[in-house]
Structure 1
Amino acid sequence: MLSRRIFSNLMQRHISNNYANQPIKDGYRSRSAHKLLELNRKAPLFKAPMNVLDLGSAPGGWSQVVLKFISSNPDSKLTSVDILPMNYLHGCTFLQLDMLKKSSIDEIIKHTGQDVDLILSDMPGNNSGIIDSDYLSLVELNNSVLNTSKKILKPGGNVVMKMLMGTLEQDYYKSLSNYFTKVSRIKQYDNHKELKEFYYFGMGWKANIL
């Protein structure tokens, strides 16, 4: 007979798996779409009209979620970027770029302009299983998000980007107050504790950041 603790863990895993698989059943391209749907429930991200940049977009699940909320307004715009190819998605401009190359920002500006309201980043870092190494990989990607924000994000704009817990994470979290008027950590419903993955939600981009 299963112990109460083992049974509880199995049920939690079952619920989490069903929760993660639901976006595929609903027609989204990736299970990760549920992450953005949950983020939006916890901290509403979307309004219309809206100019949105989706980084790390392939295969397009997050872009589909964005379009669900903004596409009804003809003045809305979505630009999606990934180092990998992404199949055509109506209502979205896709750019295949490496965000660690400085030239990518100039290419993005050609399509977004310099009046972006929201930047979303689900870019994955290394997946070595070594927390500090994977954390530093995400820091590098998130720094590219901040550098892009300096060029295209409106004053008062918002940013969502993935992060892992690491020994220096608290210092990085504090440094974000240089860029935003408020920063929150938002954890995911179905995360296994050992993954330690969450998202930063930076609100109120500060103007004139060098």
Structure 2
Amino acid sequence: MTGTKAASGREGGRSLKTRVKTARKRSLSSTLWLQRQLNDPYVAQAKREGFRSRAAFKLIEIDERYHFLKAGQKIIDLGAAPGGWSQAAGARIGAAEGKGKIIGIDLLAIDPMPGAEFKVMDFLDAEAPKLLIEWLGGKADVVLSDMAANATGHKKTDHLRIVGLVELAADFACEALAPGGAFLAKVFQGGTENEVLARLKRDFAVVRHVKPQASRADSSELYVLATGFRGRPGA
């Protein structure tokens, strides 16, 4: 991806990693997360280039590989906070110049952004699908989902919650997309069951699993990209 190659984090053969001391009120897990953030080249690059999150580079890389974002598209962004995906997608569709439209929702408030409209809403709310389509003003060209269920620590429970969110996002995409549309969703390795993939392969021309370089190497994070929505009879 142009201009997004990560730095190595090393200079002159000497590691430049920043170590974070464990504060009295900070847990070990929080300390490790902070240390990882401080040493993540994509976090640093996002700050340099003005992106709201490192996640922007994941979307940029996937689109540079598969070219599913185009000028003037209408996009729905599920789990949009803090706005990194909407920001990257907006740049690609020309949203700030009045081309296309982006509607994003999240449980958290998101700072305003040119060319995008954000709502505080739970996607699991029964009214959310209908309202999203109304706010967009018709069918979407792309549905993005970077949603992730909060971890409970119980592997089987977390797996089921992940699969459940992907299923709901996929169902919504098939309701909201115009023919030829695309659906990109975060899953985890082992997180998309055969039933979900079979459903996507039935409704889309091409279904791929993608792991962008901007996803951390030690993470089980994975994305499913479905393109060429076939449309639904009577829709």
TM-score normalised according to structure 2 size: 0.75
Mean Cα displacement is larger for which, 149-158 or 48-57?
149-158
Q: Is the 8 A contact 2:211 2:222 kept in 1?
A: yes
- In the alignment, structure 1 residue 58 sits paired with structure 2 residue 84: no
The 1:27/1:194 distance shift into structure 2, 3 A limit, reads: closer
**Residue equivalent to 2:164:** 140
Q: Supply the distance in 1 between the matched residues of 2:106 and 2:164 (Cα, whole angstroms).
A: 16
Aligned residues of 1:132 and 1:167 also touching (Cα < 8 A) = no
Residues 161 and 181 (structure 1 numbering): CA distance in 2 closer, same or farther, change over 3 Å? same
Per the alignment, do residues 131 and 20 of structure 1 end up closer, same or farther by CA in structure 2, a change over 3 Å counting?
A: farther
1:45 equivalent to 2:79? Answer no
| Count of aligned pairs | 201
What RMSD over aligned residues (CA atoms) do the two structures have, in Å? 2.8
String of CA shifts for 1:187-209, please: whole Å, max 9, x gaps. 12144555321100001112226
Cα distance in structure 2, aligned partners of 1:201 and 1:126: 22
Greater Rg by CA: 2
Given that 1:51 and 1:116 are in contact with CA atoms closer than 8 Å, whether structure 2 keeps it comes out as yes
Q: What TM-score results when the alignment is normalised by the length of structure 1?
A: 0.83
Structure 2 segments unaligned to the other structure (5+ residues): 1-14, 17-35
What is aligned with 1:161? Answer: 185
Q: 1:167 to 1:88 in 2, by over 3 A?
A: closer
Stretch moving more, 164-173 or 75-84: 164-173
Instruction: Give 1:83 shift.
Output: 1.5
Report the Cα distance in structure 2 between the residues aligned to 1:170 and 1:132, rounded to whole angstroms.
Answer: 16
